[in-house]
Amino acid sequence: MTDPLLFDHEIDRLLQGIAEGFRTPLRAPVLHTPDEVGLEFEDVTFPSSDGVPLEGWFIPAPGADRVVVANHPSGFSRSGLPTHLEPWRSRWEPSGNGSEVDFVPDYRILHDAGYHVLAYDLRNHGLSGAANGGIGTSGIFEARDVVGSLRYVRSRPDTRELPVGLFSRCLGANATFAAMTQFREAFAQVRSLVAVQPLTTRVIIEHQLALAGVPEPRIDDALMADLSRRMVVTTSIGLPRRAPVEWARNVTVPAFLAQVHDDVLTDPSDVQAMFDAVAGNRKKLHWIRGTTRRWDGYLEFQRRPEPVLDWLDATMATAAEPGARAPLAPGAELTEPLVQGGGPGACSARSATASTP
């Protein structure tokens, strides 16, 4: 439900508040820990590629020969987002996203499927260090954290030789795309990418403006240019530079993209454009249907993990495993479908998987 239509002075105040929000994003706490679901873990710290201290968990799986690195959404921490609490509830409930997102059960699923897990907080999030004046950059500087996480995996004796999969959501997915654009050499060990609900900053802001009561005719190029100028003042980075569709052209590993199709905070054409931008046929697009809640996209894995686990297994399996496909090296191409169409799931939101034509 949208708010009553706003007057010009209210729109002006709203735009300035959005611009200020990128200068001083609200941090979410690390509210849960892996031991809540029976997992042993290590508290770890490592630097981003530009030296920002990053805090995380390493969750070992006995006998595992693969690693998954988890990159969280904007405003979240490695443990999720307490949207059932204030001030987060007031911010997100108008879009139907007023319930908690807890990522810790995801790590249990990955652990039980035979993966070591590295989950950490991006810069200016959770318990990780402040950087670049605390600003949010929609993936541009957060890309350096993705690179830092990969270097950390390569630094551990128990993981340095293992293939890596990336499970990146929202900002984490944008940052992964940006890292592949800026630091391609860092991904030599990466065999697979799961990118859940990456998004273009302009697209979500347009939808948030509409939900806040800005008349639809006012949400035009002129208004967004005004906002972009304000964002340059607060962060030095306007909307055009926050360009995940362009960054997606540099994805070099098999990529599984997932998105709530009718998400009220974005538009399916945005993720479709990113999917189309990924070169080759080493990719899948997984639509989550039957809901308008963005949070359902983040919770889909713990409700119906099979599509993601099947994708990771097919793209990361070692040749030594009975019946396994050899892992795909960067630059290789898939010659057969890896994920079948979505069937009935364990949640109210239906899922569907679309392949490339």
List the single range of 117-126, 274-283, 287-296, 348-357 with lowest mean pLDDT.
348-357
Question: If we measure between CA atoms, which residue out of 120, 105, 84, 82 comes closest to residue 34?
Answer: 105
Percent above pLDDT 90 for the chain = 85
Mean pLDDT of the 285-303 span: 98
Distance, CA of 171 to CA of 18 (rounded, Å): 17
Whole-number average pLDDT of the chain = 90
The reported pTM is 0.89
Question: Which CATH number does the domain 8-355 belong to among 3.40.50.1820, 3.20.80.10, 3.50.50.60, 3.20.20.140?
Answer: 3.40.50.1820
For residue 204, give the DSSP letter: H
Q: Among 142, 14, 95, which residue's Cα sits nearest to residue 265?
A: 95
Label residues 49-72 b or e (16+ Cβ within 10 Å = b): beebebbbbbbbbeebbbbbbbbb
Q: How confident is the model at residue 74 (pLDDT cuts 50, 70, 90)?
A: very high
Summarised one tens digit per residue, pLDDT across range 198-252 is 999 999 999 999 999 999 999 999 999 999 999 999 999 999 999 999 999 999 8
DSSP state of 258: E
State the pLDDT at residue 6: 83
The band of 343, judged by pLDDT with boundaries at 50, 70 and 90, is very low
At 184 the pLDDT is 96
Overall average pLDDT of the 91-118 stretch = 97
pLDDT of residue 315: 96
Interatomic CA distance for residues 268 and 152, integer angstroms: 35
Q: What residue type is 270 in one-letter code?
A: D
Chain length of the chain = 357
Please calculate the CA angle 40-44-50 and round it to the nearest 5 degrees. Answer: 150
Q: Give CA angle at 133 (127, 136), nearest 5°.
A: 70
For residues 15 and 230, is the Cβ–Cβ distance under 8 A?
Answer: yes
pLDDT per position as a tens digit, 128-182: 999 999 999 999 999 999 999 999 999 999 999 999 999 999 999 999 999 999 9
The answer to whether residue 340 scores a pLDDT higher than 80 is no
Q: Looking up tokens 């990418």, which residue turns up?
A: 193
CA–CA–CA angle 329, 163, 170 (5° rounding)? 90
Residues in contact with 246: Cβ distance below 8 Å, sequence separation at least 6, in sequence order: 181, 277
Whether 294 contacts 197, CB under 8 Å: yes
Contacts of residue 101, Cβ cutoff 8 Å, sequence gap at least 6: 76, 80, 81, 83, 295, 298, 299
- For 177-205, letters b (16+ CB in 10 Å) and e give bbbbbbeeebbebbbbbbbbbbbbbbbbb
Give the pLDDT score at 318: 52
Does residue 339 have a pLDDT over 80? no
3-state class (DSSP) for residue 66: coil
Q: Are 52 and 122 in contact (CB under 8 A)?
A: no
Q: At residue 178, what is the residue type? A: A
d(CA 167, CA 182): 19
Question: What integer is the mean pLDDT of 189-201?
Answer: 97
